[in-house]
Amino acid sequence: MTDIDNAPLRIALGSSLPEPDESIARMITSGRNSLAFFLGDEACRYRLLAESINWDRILIARRDCSTLGYAAFKHHRRGPFSPGVRPFLREFGWWRGVLRYLLFAITEGREWYYGFYLYGLHVIKHARHQGIASSLLAATFDQARQAGYDRVELEVQVKNVRAQRLYAHMGFTRIRTTPVNWLGRLLPFPAVINMRRSMTPQP
């Protein structure tokens, strides 16, 4: 066990850090892997999204100066990313850039009906099974309560059994399975399970 492992876990909003560094931005933009077929690989997603991170929608877990994971969330139609079309044009050229930007806007807009939505959750490999994701989720619940929401909702891929188990332990219940939506008939979007957790104490 190293000194870092013994250091207390700190969870803070990205907007409260003096200056979130490039490695944190890289971790956050590496999410959305299921959209890689039109957003490109991790390096490409970094180029597309890093300039437009909304740090007030991201909780970061750190020990000492090491970043171990994050939870990203969305409410009031504002999530962790608000990219303009420009980086897409720069990356893919005019037509392909506009098309991919529109697809991104549709996938983001598709979440409009959620109130408080857990957009992403990630813990780096060597720090897993120490309760870091559970702590990030508890801090996310605090954010939801402070923003006035009485529930948190999420989508998790059907094949991601480990994450489903964690969510169940943290009080989420399964609402439905969305096998393939209208967009998924045209494009390779994964089937997801919709889960919800109430923020009010259960009887």
Ligand X SMILES: CC(C)(COP(=O)(O)OP(=O)(O)OC[C@H]1O[C@@H](n2cnc3c(N)ncnc32)[C@H](O)[C@@H]1OP(=O)(O)O)[C@@H](O)C(=O)NCCC(=O)NCCS
Phi, psi for 102 (deg, rounded to 5): -65, -40
* 194, HSE (Cβ side, Cα atoms, 13 Å): 13
129 binds ligand X (CB under 6 A): yes
3-state secondary structure of 31: coil
Phi and psi angles of residue 163, each rounded to the nearest 5 degrees, phi first: -65, -40
Smaller CB separation from ligand X, 45 or 88: 45
**Rounded CA separation 42/114 (Å):** 27
Tell me, residue by residue from 98 to 127, as one string, x for binding to ligand X by CB under 6 A and - for no binding.
-----------------------xxx----
- Told to check if 10 binds ligand X by CB under 6 A, we report no
Least separation in angstroms between residue 164's CB and ligand X is: 8
Contact assessment for residue 195 and residue 166, using Cβ atoms and an 8 Å cutoff: no
Q: How far apart are CA 141 and CA 40, in angstroms?
A: 31
CB 61 within 8 A of CB 17: no
**45 counts as binding ligand X under rule CB under 6 A:** no
CB-nearer residue toward ligand X: 165 or 174: 165
Q: Least distance in Å: CB of 134 to ligand X?
A: 3
Among 24, 133, 144, 193, binds ligand X (CB under 6 A): 133
132 belongs to the binding site for ligand X (CB under 6 A): yes
* Residue from 7, 43, 64, 131 in contact with ligand X (CB under 6 A): 131
- In this chain, which of 86, 90, 96, 128 binds ligand X, going by CB under 6 A? 128
Residues in CB range of 4: below 8 A, 6 or more apart:
63, 64, 66
Shortest reach from residue 155's CB to ligand X, in Å: 7
**Per-residue binder mask for ligand X (CB under 6 A), 139-178, x = binder:** -----------------x---x-xx-xx--x---------
Q: How far is the CB of 184 from ligand X (least distance, A)?
A: 17
| Residues in Cβ contact with 191 at an 8 Å cutoff, skipping those fewer than 6 apart | 157, 158, 177, 178, 179, 180, 184
Q: Which one-letter amino acid corresponds to residue 159?
A: K
Interface contacts to ligand X, rule CB under 6 A: 121-123, 128-134, 156, 160, 162-163, 165-166, 169
